[in-house]
Structure formats: structure tokens, C-alpha cells
Amino acid sequence: MFYEIVGKISIALVFIFLILILISLLLGVILIKKHRFILPKLLLFVMGNFQTQVKKIAGAFGLGERIVDQTCIEVRNHLNVESFARVQAKDRILVVPQCLRNVKCPARLDSKTGIACRECGMCIIKDIKAEVERLGYGFYIVPGGRFVERIVKAVRPKAALGVACCKDLNAAMHEISRTKCVVLGVPLIHEGCVQTKVNLIELFKKMKLGVEDTAANVEKICADANIRAS
Ligand code: SF4
């Protein structure tokens, strides 16, 4: 009798778990396709904590694993945007991946602070760095996700804005969310190992959250940067 009850409870829990995953996937699809946030905290709880299982089921339904990373990033951005805007720029850091660099980048890697851009102008990072310095952010060009976690632990910023491919960005945002640091992310629009691309307008808009600046200024900086990048 005891084992029968335990068996029935276990089957019911597995069933509920599967239903939750399916509902989360449905909400994820609605979010990505229609940009509508329905039950965002539940969505993040399920997708954030059971990523392996959700990704397997997403794959079985032909949705691809990427939808899980995209959904988690979007939901975290949605939930954290106001808290991020309340943090002063001097207490924020921006972390970008080394793959944004030009393949001929002359900068060297420092084991503690990442890659030190020499502002040669061969890639978009020169423009990002100029804007970061103008606003007062801390700035790091990093070779990988583990490096980001080390920097957050060492610098202890109140807020962090990260740029990376969907998978790495979601993983880093998940880890940073365990600390007191408020995290936002901007996924790369062109992923890969070298010369990747980020949407500068989206990045600069997020950098300027809560910081007084005009929209015209954002567009001018982006226009100048795009010209230099081409
Ligand atoms: S601008 Fe900076 S990061 Fe980009 S290629 Fe030059 S030194 Fe490297």
C-alpha cells in the first residue's frame, strides 16, 4: 500500500513537471515570436533551473535548444531592467567577448583584467570603449564565461551588462544572478569564434538606461561607429 502511494505520487510529480515544461516552452515561443511576457517569473524558474530537461524536450519538438537561452535572457532583461537603471554608471561594468575583435587585434591578454584594447580602430570595440569611458562604466574584454564570473567576484559591481552568444550569455547571466549584482544581457547578432557582431543600438541603449542622455546622441554614436566598423 505504501509503495503504491509513493509510486502514484511520483508519477503525478513527473506528469506535473512535464506539463510545466510544456507550458514554459509555449510561453517561450509566445515571448520570442510576439514579445509578450506571460508569467515571466514562472518561466524563468522552470527554464533557468531545469535547462537540460527543457532543452531536450525543446529539441524533441523541433524548437531547438536556442529558444531556451533566448527566453531566459529576454525574461531576465525584462525583470531586471528597472533595478539596473537605478544603479549609477560608475557602479556598473560592461563585459564583451574577445570574438568581437578584429583577427589582427594587437591587444594582449591580462590574466586578471582580460584583453587591454589598444584602440587601434580595427574593430567596434574602440567605439564601445570610448562610450564606456564617457559614461564611467568598468570595461572588460574577456576570453570566456569563467573569466566573467571571476571579474564579478573580484570587482563586485552593483550591475553588469554582458555581451555574448546566446548560450554563453544565458549561462553567465544565470551564474551572476546568484550574486547581488543586477545583470542585463545583449546577445550577439552574428555568433562564431571570430569577428562576431553585436547590435550597437541595442547595446548603447542598455548602457544608457537611467543615465541622462538624448536619443539623438545614441543614434549619432551608433552611426559613427557603424561607419568606422564597415
Ligand atoms: S580596437 Fe582594440 S580590441 Fe579592436 S582590434 Fe584594435 S586593439 Fe583590438
Residue range 167-192, pLDDT digits in tens: 999 999 999 999 999 999 999 999 98
Residue 164 lies in a domain: yes
Q: Which residues contact 107 (CB under 8 A, 6 or more apart)?
A: 101, 115, 116, 117, 118, 120, 141
Domain boundary among 33, 64, 95: 64
Output the CA 220–ligand 1 centroid distance in Å: 21
**The pLDDT value given to residue 5:** 87
**The pLDDT value given to residue 224:** 60
Output the CA 109–ligand 1 centroid distance in Å: 12
Query: Which residue range forms the structural domain that includes residue 46?
Result: 2-64
| Residue 54 DSSP class | H
To test the ligand 1 pocket, which listed residue (96, 109, 115, 119) has its Cβ within 8 A of the most ligand atoms?
Answer: 119
Say yes or no: 27 and 105 in one domain: no
CA pair distance 212, 222, nearest whole angstrom = 17
Output the CA 67–ligand 1 centroid distance in Å: 32
pLDDT at residue 215 above 80? no
Say yes or no: 95 and 207 in one domain: yes
Say yes or no: 29 and 127 in one domain: no
Mean pLDDT value across residues 213-220: 56
For the CA of 107, the closest atom of ligand 1 is 7
Q: Which residues line ligand 1 (CB under 6 A)?
A: 101-102, 105-107, 117-123, 125-126
